[in-house]
Amino acid sequence: MLEQVKYFEDFVIGEGRQTVGRTITETDFVVHAGHSGDFFPHHLDAEFCKTLPFGQRIAHGTMVFTIGVGLTATIINPVAFSYGYDRLRFVKPVFIGDTIRSRVEIIATEPMEKRPGFGRVTERLTVTNQHGDTVLVADHIYMVERRP
Amino acid sequence: MLEQVKYFEDFVIGEGRQTVGRTITETDFVVHAGHSGDFFPHHLDAEFCKTLPFGQRIAHGTMVFTIGVGLTATIINPVAFSYGYDRLRFVKPVFIGDTIRSRVEIIATEPMEKRPGFGRVTERLTVTNQHGDTVLVADHIYMVERRP
Amino acid sequence: MLEQVKYFEDFVIGEGRQTVGRTITETDFVVHAGHSGDFFPHHLDAEFCKTLPFGQRIAHGTMVFTIGVGLTATIINPVAFSYGYDRLRFVKPVFIGDTIRSRVEIIATEPMEKRPGFGRVTERLTVTNQHGDTVLVADHIYMVERRP
Amino acid sequence: MLEQVKYFEDFVIGEGRQTVGRTITETDFVVHAGHSGDFFPHHLDAEFCKTLPFGQRIAHGTMVFTIGVGLTATIINPVAFSYGYDRLRFVKPVFIGDTIRSRVEIIATEPMEKRPGFGRVTERLTVTNQHGDTVLVADHIYMVERRP
Amino acid sequence: MLEQVKYFEDFVIGEGRQTVGRTITETDFVVHAGHSGDFFPHHLDAEFCKTLPFGQRIAHGTMVFTIGVGLTATIINPVAFSYGYDRLRFVKPVFIGDTIRSRVEIIATEPMEKRPGFGRVTERLTVTNQHGDTVLVADHIYMVERRP
Amino acid sequence: MLEQVKYFEDFVIGEGRQTVGRTITETDFVVHAGHSGDFFPHHLDAEFCKTLPFGQRIAHGTMVFTIGVGLTATIINPVAFSYGYDRLRFVKPVFIGDTIRSRVEIIATEPMEKRPGFGRVTERLTVTNQHGDTVLVADHIYMVERRP
């Protein structure tokens, strides 16, 4: 993990980076159920899932989001604060054995009128699988200090 | 877990329910770090956190979201599909030992023009702590089958 | 999770319910070993198990019991208290990949002479696999408040 | 772990052993909830538990049983097979921070008439806490091969 | 677990023992990543690993060491203290599904001149897989009390 | 996580870096016991530990090593391969609540005569706690490709 101070003025639209990949395992499914308390059979009952269109267990949306975001957690910016996410969408299902990676890209920057000294930076998160298909998107909103 | 078929026409704006509570433990912090791969010191380094404004470790946003959503996972509606979330906001920090509970309430229903046979239902999720403070909000969007 | 007050007088012999299913994964085997501290090779050593009659790893009895009971934990009855279990039997082995579900049925109710104000309710737990075979049975004994 | 062949004829009523101790942590509570799927607030919601007679979170019965049994899993007897348990009783609650240990003692041996070549051995399991109070008892029934 | 007092003078060069086996599962890989914080794609990204010489995910060295040592943890010697390890070597990779077991053997004993009352005992740890290949070796150094 | 190709010739004696910190929690103790299978009361029985010189539970040596190494796992060098460790020493105990961080520093580089095209690089790992005390040291040996 690296620390890197990056002020509002340092963010450039179009800048981005790609993470390493991670294979989503049956273990992740079971851990996420136990962590979230969501034991819906869509995620945990292989027999039931044979009767559904996808024919197999489907990852919790909150897990794809959690791991997709987690993959990006490699650089600490001490002057940026997570504010929330807009337009989080579960685009395609993730199955046991899929390998996902995340791409983040700055898509908007604007001063915060109500919060002088801060700017609002929007970073698009795109999670893809091993086929190159997008499985999840979300727009991460940061409050970032302006350069002093 | 109960199964309950609820068609688009059955959703009524203002309807809602409150979940039981769950105390967020140091264990949940450590499990979430290990599950997400996010080991930022804001969540895991008690010494470092003493130097921050909050003075203590702060829950991962993705964890409050995951557990907040998980608390609501008690009734399976086989004709509703999760589409995504809008306006997910981390309103206040969650600390080790806080007890959270979730409230969901239907705030909008509209037919989906591009997808005949389906309607769009928006359910607001509000996660509160033991002081009654809201710590997270998000609008959950479902695609729900229309009554046949 | 729902809360539902059900007094001793409300229990009817023959009443029951069936839970959703859950696939027992290799992850559950490893988690249970780590949780219980029981690392017997019957549960964890695939090579050793090839030399046994079943030819594969066998679930811990305590795990089938724990998950079989856990599947039923969906309705809180604030006037019932778990007293213990009788005749817990490991009827058939559970293997990695089996999907279990639980059925509970009230099989006996009787006043508790030594504890006025309470009755004793016996609920039979039957855990089955995806072939419909019973893998575990146990009689759960509750102390339940009488209707005031 | 040791392997020790012990035939039906080798079991002597009154023989027993005491295990080492293990402190039951908040982690064990959270792990057991996630493993079993039982997220009842009696085990996980510290605020709710303040309103109950015990005033604090109470261990799952299945966890005390699982760990109590797990503590005894140190000697493999290849000619003994677990058949089940009788009279499993949750005698006293276990709280976060309690230290439990198990004692096992042979209390009965009898030939199995329906299964020539095997005997039935009953081993009483007694789990105690750091105050010496019994928190759980159960009678473990084994089928054991007779000496050839 | 057994307790067995064994003084410096009781250790005999060449003495040793073999543990039971344990199959290393995908779960262990995921748990170790989450426990250590090491999410390198060599351990977790099946697609990336297809491009490497071994063609599949490789166990963390610290995991093979941890589980290899853990397998030996069956006898408590209250007069011996772990001092460290010399010549820890990752001899061959461990893959998902491999079954490992450990062998320990006393290879050296010598009085500690600087610490009267103690001797230094070196125990060689050899971890092998199901093919009999050595995957890890290390020399465990103990400080052991001399017989009083 | 970053990828950075660094050939044998690029390593400079004295170069090093410091990681972020991580608080070692009771959860880590319990997870490590369950992962390693080592349930010695020195790590898990708070009552027993009151009778020992340190008066409290002590971290597994393999855990301090695993997490200490894990903290350094932030930069992938595709031309370096872990060969093993020398002089791994458990210098001081780690207790629940301690915060550790790791420092790595190159202490030796030498060509490998038996393996042309590779050099041997030794990186000293020093793990310290929140008091600045060293708790673990080890010399990590890498085989690194020479610049082509």
Distance from CA of E35 to the nearest CA of B (A): 6
Phi and psi at residue A68, to the nearest 5°: -60, -45
Q: In B33-68, which positions are buried (b, 16+ CB within 10 angstroms) versus exposed (e)? A: bbbbbbbbbbbbbbbbbeeeeeeebbbbbbbbbbbb
To test the contact with chain E by mutation, choose from B39, B44, B45 the residue with the greatest count of E C-beta atoms within 10 A, namely: B39
Residue F147: is its pLDDT beyond 70? yes
Residue D130: is its pLDDT beyond 80? yes
pLDDT, position B1: 64
- Cβ atoms of residues F75 and F137 within 8 Å: no
- For the stretch D67-121, pLDDT in tens is 999 999 999 999 999 999 999 999 999 999 999 999 999 999 999 989 999 999 9
- Cβ atoms of residues D85 and B139 within 8 Å: no
Residue D2: is its pLDDT beyond 90? no
C36 touches chain D (CB under 8 A): yes
Reference F79, options F1, F20, F30, F148; nearest CA is F148
E51 touches chain A (CB under 8 A): no
Residue C147: is its pLDDT beyond 80? yes
- For the stretch F124-136, pLDDT in tens is 999 999 999 999 9
- For the stretch A58-94, pLDDT in tens is 999 999 999 999 999 999 999 999 999 999 999 999 9
Going from the C-alpha of A94 to that of each of A36, A99, A126, the distances in angstroms are: 17, 9, 14
* Mean pLDDT, rounded, of chain A: 96
Sign of torsion, CA D68 D69 D73 D75?
A: positive
Phi and psi at residue E54, to the nearest 5°: -75, -20
- For the stretch F13-63, pLDDT in tens is 999 999 999 999 999 999 999 999 999 999 999 999 999 999 999 999 999
Chain F residues in contact with E83 (beta carbon < 8 A): 89-90
pLDDT, position F15: 97
Residue F3: is its pLDDT beyond 90? no
* pLDDT tier for residue D3 given thresholds of 50, 70 and 90: confident
Alpha carbon distance B42, C131 (integer Å): 49
- The residue count of chain D comes to 148
> Residue C22, Cβ neighbours under 10 Å: how many?
27
Distance from CA of F20 to the nearest CA of A (A): 7
Chain C residues in contact with E20 (beta carbon < 8 A): 39-41, 45, 48
Chains B and E: how many Cβ contacts under 8 Å?
Answer: 14
* pLDDT tier for residue A1 given thresholds of 50, 70 and 90: low
Residue E48: is its pLDDT beyond 70? yes
B contact chains, 3+ CB pairs < 8 A: A, C, D, E, F
Mean pLDDT of B78-87: 96
Q: Do the Cβ atoms of F41 and D26 come within 8 Å?
A: no
A17 touches chain D (CB under 8 A): no
pLDDT, position E1: 64
Distance from CA of E35 to the nearest CA of F (A): 7
**From C22, C31, C130, residue closest to A44, measured CB to CB:** C22
Distance from CA of C33 to the nearest CA of F (A): 7
Alpha carbon distance E38, E46 (integer Å): 15
Q: Which residue of E has its CA nearest to C43?
A: E22
Q: What architecture is the A2-145 domain classified under in CATH?
A: Roll (3.10)
pLDDT, position C1: 64
Residue E55: exposure state from Cβ atoms within 10 A (0-12, 13-18, ≥19):
exposed
Mean pLDDT of C40-58: 97
B81 touches chain E (CB under 8 A): no
Residue E12: exposure state from Cβ atoms within 10 A (0-12, 13-18, ≥19):
exposed
Mean pLDDT of F79-108: 97
| Rg of chain F over all Cα atoms, to the nearest angstrom | 18
**In percent, how much of chain F has pLDDT > 90?**
94
Q: Which residue of F has its CA nearest to E136?
A: F84
Distance from CA of C84 to the nearest CA of E (A): 28
Residue C42: is its pLDDT beyond 80? yes
Residue F122: is its pLDDT beyond 80? yes
Rounded to two decimals, the pTM is 0.97
* Mean pLDDT, rounded, of chain F: 96
Q: Do the Cβ atoms of E45 and A26 come within 8 Å?
A: no
- Cβ atoms of residues B143 and B8 within 8 Å: no
Q: What share of chain F is helix, strand, coil (3-state, %, to 5)?
A: 20, 40, 40
* pLDDT tier for residue E11 given thresholds of 50, 70 and 90: very high
* DSSP summary character for residue A95: B
Residue F1: is its pLDDT beyond 80? no
pLDDT, position B81: 94
pLDDT, position A123: 98
pLDDT, position E47: 98
F contact chains, 3+ CB pairs < 8 A: A, B, C, D, E
Q: Beta strands of D40-117 (E only): which ranges?
A: 75-76, 80-90, 99-111
**In percent, how much of chain F has pLDDT > 70?**
99
- Degrees (nearest 5) of the Cα angle B97, B102, B104? 170
Residue D1: is its pLDDT beyond 70? no
* DSSP summary character for residue A58: B
Alpha carbon distance B8, A55 (integer Å): 25
- For the stretch E117-140, pLDDT in tens is 999 999 999 999 999 999 999 999
* Mean pLDDT, rounded, of chain D: 96
pLDDT, position D107: 98
**In percent, how much of chain E has pLDDT > 70?**
99
pLDDT, position B3: 86
pLDDT, position E107: 98
Q: In F35-72, which positions are buried (b, 16+ CB within 10 angstroms) versus exposed (e)? A: bbbbbbbbbbbbbbbeeeeeeebbbbbbbbbbbbbbbb
ipTM above 0.90, yes or no: yes
B74 touches chain C (CB under 8 A): yes
